[in-house]
Amino acid sequence: MRIVIAGGHGQIALRLERLLAARGDEVAGIIRKPEQAADLRDAGAEPVVLDLESATVADVAEVLKGADAVVFAAGAGPGSDAARKETVDRAAAVLLADAAERAGVRRYVIVSSMGSNAEHRGDGVFDAYLRAKGAADDAIRSRTTLDWTVLRPGSLTNDAGRGLVSLAASTGHGAIPRDDVAATLAELLDTPATAGLTLELITGSSPLAVAVKGVAGN
């Protein structure tokens, strides 16, 4: 497959790029800073420098030509203000969906967050983040032209992946290594029957591939 990842220099994205490249997929990562390109090449991905906060739908659609799937793994990141949660975590996800539709790419997997809710209340930056992510999820799930999957991991850690997860519409709160999030994304991309699902992900007791097969088609 050819897979394009928005937010290609993120911690989950770099892990996913390594996994996909190692299994023989063709991977491109959209990045904002040219100096990030070397890290993507080291991961086996083609770097594409494009700022999703200023790019047009046509700009992004050009990058997506010939892709089999797209993954939205971008985020404004720690230290960013509420305004950038809106322009990156929400608007850039919608832009990628618009571009996927224009380029004829149906498969769209978005990395969301547990607790995402467009109606979430609160005045803090993290509250704004949860609203932005929830609004992005809602926008993606409204698209009948996309085979979307929304993945909502729990608290992210840098622990080594165990390959044992709990994956369901509702898992309860918990943590999950970024390694296991990336591996789950790779498995979801290989499992078209997970389209149309919103899934929470935390560390659990099920082997990852078994967990994905268990939710497929539900």
The catalytic site residues sit at 129
**DSSP states of the chain:** -EEEEESTTSHHHHHHHHHHHHTT-EEEEEES-GGGHHHHHHHT-EEEE--TTT--HHHHHHHHTT-SEEEE-----TT--HHHIIIIIIHHHHHHHHHHHHHT--EEEEE--TT--TT---SSHHHHHHHHHHHHHHHHHT-TTSEEEEEEE-EEE-SPP-SEEEEES---S-EEEHHHHHHHHHHHHT-GGGTTEEEEEEE-SEEHHHHHHHHTT-
